[in-house]
Amino acid sequence: MALRTVLTHRHMKKKLLIITAAVLLLAAGFAAYVTLSTFHGTPTRINIPEGSSKDAVQAIIKEALPGSYGRKVAMLWALSGGRTAHGSFLVEPGSKSLNVARKIRSGRQTPLRFTFNNVRTLQQLAAVASRTMEFSETDFLVACDSVLPPRGYRSAAEFPAAVLPDTYEFYWTASPEYFVGKLADSRDTFWTPERRKAAASMGLTPVEVATIASIAEEETAAADERATVARLYVNRLQRGMKLQADPTVKFAVGDFSLRRITGRHLGVQSPYNTYMHEGLPPGPIRIPSAATLRAVLTAPKHDWLYMCAKEDFSGRHNFASDGATHMANARRYRAALDRRGIK
């Protein structure tokens, strides 16, 4: 009887060990299944706004990473003690679910690259920035109002001269003040003592160079013509002539799609209307590129004072140093507009 009891206990112990081992194996398998799951999608960002609740964070993770992989990451993040999170986290192909959860838990953000070009106004730049960064358009514009005046920009009209189109690196959570400041730092780096001296030799400040560059960019789509256009405007300024630049009228009217400037447009009351007012407008009519700024500063001298769009609609111009030649060029262009029925 005693022997049978001993054998029974041994048998039960053996069964218990087998069951325990099976459970452990299943648990280990499940843990491996959850923690070592691999991401096979394209690079994906998980953007978690400040103040997100635990439930909101899990929902954001699952939405950014659809399917079982996202559910695993969300579960692992919660099990790791995550209560909230804040930041932008890049998930690349091959990423293990546990590593992604740990990255979010520790707040190890992945920097992002912000690129902008061909932007006219700060409002447009604000819209572009807000689609990339956490802050809003309004946050960006308010930051401009607080950051740029102490840097020497006298009014909002001059603010477009404070930034340069380029590629920048930020954390998604960067404050709008830091963002604007970094853009302005890049502009300050551009303006070396040599470039400031070149501007001064033409009687211009850096903001005025940016203003001329902005007009030249709007005036011609041909990059190799912008230096010529810029020097023409400098010539007119130095002779005390009104700029009479069509792009400034388009800016004043608020319609850059205009193909034909008429008397109605020329009569618009605006400090940007250079047919009415002498000198430069209050500030740039777009955010000019570094290449165009360089073109203004290094433009070869010439004696041209007038220009008119070519009648072939190539986007290039006929230049003239006297009024009679300019009027002949203008008549050819107007005739081409009439033939095409452009009013």
Domains recognised in the chain with CATH numbers? 44-110 (3.30.1490.480), 112-190 (no CATH), 193-339 (no CATH)
- What are the tens digits of pLDDT across the range 298-325? 999 999 999 998 989 888 999 999 999 9
Torsion, CA 295, CA 297, CA 302, CA 308, rounded to 10: 50
Does the pLDDT value for residue 243 go beyond 70?
A: yes
Contacts of 229 (CB under 8 A, 6+ apart): 215, 216, 219, 220, 307, 317
End-to-end CA distance of the chain: 115
Does the pLDDT value for residue 24 go beyond 80?
A: no
Identify whether the C-beta of residue 273 lies closer than 8 Å to the C-beta of residue 252. Answer: yes
List the structure tokens of 110. 């992945």
Among 173, 256, 185, 262, smallest CA distance to 221 is for: 256
Under the banding of pLDDT at 50, 70 and 90, the label for residue 90 is very high
Under the banding of pLDDT at 50, 70 and 90, the label for residue 150 is very high
- pLDDT number for residue 199: 97
Under the banding of pLDDT at 50, 70 and 90, the label for residue 84 is confident
- pLDDT number for residue 8: 59
Under the banding of pLDDT at 50, 70 and 90, the label for residue 16 is very low
List the structure tokens of 68. 């079982």
Does the pLDDT value for residue 165 go beyond 90?
A: yes
- Say which residue, 309 or 291, is predicted with more confidence: 291
- pLDDT number for residue 313: 87
pTM for the model stands at 0.85
Average pLDDT rounded to a whole number, residues 225-245: 96
Average pLDDT rounded to a whole number, residues 324-333: 91
CB atoms within 10 A of CB 116: 18
Question: To the nearest whole percent, how much of the chain has pLDDT over 70?
Answer: 90
Say what angle helices 206-219 and 290-297 make with each other, to 10 degrees: 110
Does the pLDDT value for residue 171 go beyond 60?
A: yes
Give the lowest-confidence range in 38-52, 77-91, 165-179. Answer: 77-91
Average pLDDT rounded to a whole number, residues 174-181: 98
Give the lowest-confidence range in 13-17, 108-112, 117-121, 276-280. Answer: 13-17
Buried b (16+ CB within 10 A) or exposed e, 71-105: bbbbbbbbeeebeebbbbbbbeeebbbbbbbbbbb
- Say which residue, 28 or 341, is predicted with more confidence: 341
Average pLDDT rounded to a whole number, residues 115-140: 96
Report CA Rg, the chain. 32
Average pLDDT rounded to a whole number, residues 70-99: 93
Does the pLDDT value for residue 22 go beyond 60?
A: no
Contacts of 306 (CB under 8 A, 6+ apart): 232, 319, 320, 321, 322, 323, 325, 326, 329
- pLDDT number for residue 261: 85
Among 171, 107, 162, 169, smallest CA distance to 134 is for: 171
Does the pLDDT value for residue 170 go beyond 70?
A: yes
Does the pLDDT value for residue 30 go beyond 70?
A: no
Contacts of 257 (CB under 8 A, 6+ apart): none
Identify whether the C-beta of residue 266 lies closer than 8 Å to the C-beta of residue 342. Answer: no
- What are the tens digits of pLDDT across the range 210-234? 999 999 999 998 999 999 999 999 9
Tell me how many degrees the CA angle 144-285-239 measures, rounded to the nearest 5. 125
- 29 burial (CB, 10 Å; 0-12 / 13-18 / 19+) is exposed
Average pLDDT rounded to a whole number, residues 6-27: 47
Contacts of 327 (CB under 8 A, 6+ apart): none
- pLDDT number for residue 66: 86
Query: Beta partners for 87?
Result: 48
Amino acid letter for position 63: E
List the structure tokens of 135. 């802050």
